[in-house]
Amino acid sequence: MQVTIKIFRYNPEQDKKPHYETYKLEADPTDRVLDLLERVKGYFDGTLSFRRSCAHGMCGSDAMRINGHNRLACKVLVQDLKTTKIIVEPILGLRVIKDLIVDMEPFFANYRSVMPYLVNNEPEPKKERLQSVEDRERFDDTTKCILCACCTTSCPSFWASEQYAGPAAMVAAHRFIFDSRDQAAAERLSILNDQFGVYRCHTIFNCTEACPREIQITKAIGELKRAIATGRLD
């Protein structure tokens, strides 16, 4: 089949403003959008810039807007799009460095701000810190995050202000706050009890729709809101 792929292009060192380039390609229905981008780069224009690494939905590096939705280019097949016209753009809310590559630093700064690591000041046990199956299950969903930023950069509250912690940072906070081995839940909840924390989430659900790991992000944020309001982690 033949597809048309229209790609956002911007090289701030040469271009006054962004523009789009359109390419016509032969494609199989089972080709991934990432395959098409590789084909454009390999055969049409070697200057096309985008991030990718694993090509299997695990590293989170190739988040982009595909026909208006935040997706991983390596997880979207041509046949999934139900059209032969494909538009690829950078994720929104972060500065474009070149073409489809954005500056991820504000995203990772928000991630770091919620202490995304286990805190336990008790002496280390001889083997490991044990946990019941039920306690592990409590935060299982939020362990699946691959930090792709599809969620945060689809959230209108983040578009309005990159100071907003955003859904990915709150997923990371949830993963540790509800871990029975961790001792810094109160500190993390206090960080998120802020105008740029949970109160910026207006339950828009774009984040949940965009997550390639199908994490129930809006539900997790709701649990953080409840923990802040009640002071309880049940």
Query: E strand or H helix at 108, and its extent?
Result: helix 105-113
What whole-number distance in Å separates Cα of residue 102 and Cα of residue 219?
A: 28
Q: Side chain identity at 230, as an amino acid letter?
A: T
C-alpha pair distances (Å), 35 with each of 26, 38, 43, 69, 222: 11, 5, 12, 18, 37
Query: Any contact of residue 94 with ligand SF4 (CB under 6 A)?
Result: no
Interface residues toward ligand F3S, by CB under 6 A: 155, 157, 167, 201-207, 218, 221
Per CB under 6 A, the list member of 151, 155, 173, 224 interacting with ligand SF4 is 151
Closest of 171, 130, 125 to residue 149, by C-alpha:
171
Query: Any contact of residue 145 with ligand SF4 (CB under 6 A)?
Result: yes
Q: Which residues have CB under 8 Å from 143's CB, separation 6+?
A: 175
Given ligand SF4, ligand F3S, ligand FES, none, residue 147, with its beta carbon under 5 to 8 Å by kind, binds ligand SF4
Interface residues toward ligand FES, by CB under 6 A: 52-55, 57-62, 72, 74
Per CB under 6 A, the list member of 217, 221, 224, 227 interacting with ligand SF4 is 217
Q: For the window 20-59, what string marks contact with ligand SF4 as x by the rule CB under 6 A?
A: ----------------------------------------
Instruction: Give least dist CB 74 to ligand FES, A.
Output: 3
100 touches 50 (CB < 8 A): yes
Instruction: Give least dist CB 201 to ligand FES, A.
Output: 25
Query: Any contact of residue 64 with ligand SF4 (CB under 6 A)?
Result: no
What whole-number distance in Å separates Cα of residue 230 and Cα of residue 81?
A: 43
Instruction: Give least dist CB 171 to ligand F3S, A.
Output: 10
Helix (H, G, I), strand (E, B) or coil at 151: coil
Query: E strand or H helix at 85, and its extent?
Result: strand 85-89
Instruction: Give least dist CB 208 to ligand SF4, A.
Output: 9
Q: Which residues have CB under 8 Å from 107's CB, separation 6+?
A: 94, 149, 152, 153, 166, 168
> Closer to ligand F3S at the Cβ: 29 or 156?
156
Query: Any contact of residue 221 with ligand SF4 (CB under 6 A)?
Result: no
What whole-number distance in Å separates Cα of residue 175 and Cα of residue 165?
A: 15
Given ligand SF4, ligand FES, ligand F3S, none, residue 203, with its beta carbon under 5 to 8 Å by kind, binds ligand F3S
> Closer to ligand FES at the Cβ: 98 or 188?
98
Interacting residues with ligand SF4 (CB under 6 A): 60, 145-151, 167-168, 171, 210-213, 215, 217
